[in-house]
């Protein structure tokens, strides 16, 4: 099946970020009309200047605000007459350094879940009447964290696993209505959000090196993720995994979960590094 993107109206959340902006460019190339949304009007206005103004609408939107999302969907219908695709992509992780459940700030934990899990639900809920009416598509940016142990990143991984299940459930619920939903699983991608994990705190970088094989730690470009997203939308694929080296782990997740959970539990070097990180953060 080939879902033609020419003339389709796509609303992107977190559009000013790395994966959002790269996807906006790729979708525009594929012929779609763009609704660019992000926290600040300036950031989406700046991106919108790259495109023909007849094919783009740029609006500030915080995905945790349900009423604001409904207003944006109304504006989209006013301008383009319809909304075909929701790309629910906005997301956050730790602001400064990775933390454990023990050492984290509880308000920050809750804010991450608010944006990454509830923000996705609210965006989907407000867009769904249009997506169903147009037999369209919802694409949700989850992460390989949906199936990888989330230690040091638990609010993020909890949310990414949650929105994976939300999207799978939605896909089944939409099937009889001619609309669909797809999960996007990027591995590490070189964007702002990944900086905390990669470069920020040297101890966190060391812990990540101990926990993940080097092949899986190689970041991909946001353009590569965008390319996968566009291909996946065209085929209305249930799962879009970029880079493909994560696919075996995704398929074998039951077995890998048992092995990685065991490895992390039995690894004294890893425990020592976590202890040190917690000491640094709580003293």
Judged by the rule CB under 6 A, the positions of this chain that interact with ligand NAD are: 13-14, 16-20, 38-39, 61-64, 89-92, 115, 119, 141, 143, 186, 188-189, 191-194, 222
Which residue in the block uniquely carries the two structure tokens 């996968």?
228
Instruction: Report, in Å, the least distance between residue 194 CB and ligand NAD.
Output: 4
Cα dihedral sign, 157-170-64-226: positive
Instruction: Report, in Å, the least distance between residue 177 CB and ligand NAD.
Output: 26
Rounded to an integer, what distance in angstroms lies between the CA atom of residue 64 and that of residue 16?
A: 17
Rounded to an integer, what distance in angstroms lies between the CA atom of residue 40 and that of residue 34?
A: 17
Task: Give the residue with the Cβ less far from ligand NAD, 133 or 239.
Answer: 239
Cα dihedral sign, 96-102-108-109: positive
Rounded to an integer, what distance in angstroms lies between the CA atom of residue 30 and that of residue 10?
A: 11
Instruction: Report, in Å, the least distance between residue 59 CB and ligand NAD.
Output: 11
Q: Does 156 participate in catalysis according to the annotation? A: yes
Give one word for 178, left, alpha or beta, with left for phi > 0 and alpha for psi -120 to 50: left
Task: Give the residue with the Cβ less far from ligand NAD, 97 or 267.
Answer: 97
Instruction: Report, in Å, the least distance between residue 282 CB and ligand NAD.
Output: 26
Which candidate, 8, 127, 132, places its Cα nearest to that of 70? 127
Among the listed residues 156, 185, 212, 263, the single catalytic one is: 156
Question: Catalytic residue positions?
Answer: 156
């Amino acid at each position: 099946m080939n879902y033609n993107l020419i003339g389709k109206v796509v609303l992107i959340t977190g559009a000013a970020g790395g994966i959002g902006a790269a996807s906006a460019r790729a979708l525009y190339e594929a012929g779609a009309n763009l609704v660019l949304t992000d926290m600040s009007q300036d950031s989406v206005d700046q991106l919108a200047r790259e495109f023909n103004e007849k094919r783009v609408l740029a609006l500030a939107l915080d995905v945790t605000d349900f009423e604001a999302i409904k207003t944006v969907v109304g504006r989209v219908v006013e301008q383009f007459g319809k909304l075909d695709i929701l790309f629910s992509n906005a997301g956050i992780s730790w602001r400064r350094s990775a933390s454990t459940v023990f050492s984290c700030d509880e308000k920050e934990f809750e804010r991450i879940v608010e944006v990454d899990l509830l923000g996705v639900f609210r965006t989907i809920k407000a867009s769904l009447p249009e997506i169903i009416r147009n037999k369209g598509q919802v694409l949700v940016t989850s992460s390989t964290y949906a199936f990888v142990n989330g230690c040091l990143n638990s609010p993020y991984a909890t949310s990414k696993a949650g929105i994976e299940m939300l999207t799978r459930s939605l896909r089944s619920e939409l099937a009889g209505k001619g609309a669909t939903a797809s999960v996007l699983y990027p591995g590490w991608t070189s964007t702002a959000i990944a900086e905390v994990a990669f470069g920020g705190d040297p101890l966190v970088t060391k812990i990540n090196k101990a926990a993940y094989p080097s092949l899986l730690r190689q970041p991909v470009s946001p353009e590569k993720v965008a390319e996968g997203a566009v291909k996946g939308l065209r085929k209305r694929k249930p799962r879009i995994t970029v880079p493909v080296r994560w696919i075996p782990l995704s398929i074998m997740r039951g077995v890998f979960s048992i092995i990685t959970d065991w490895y992390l539990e039995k690894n004294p070097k890893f425990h020592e590094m976590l202890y040190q990180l917690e000491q640094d953060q709580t003293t």
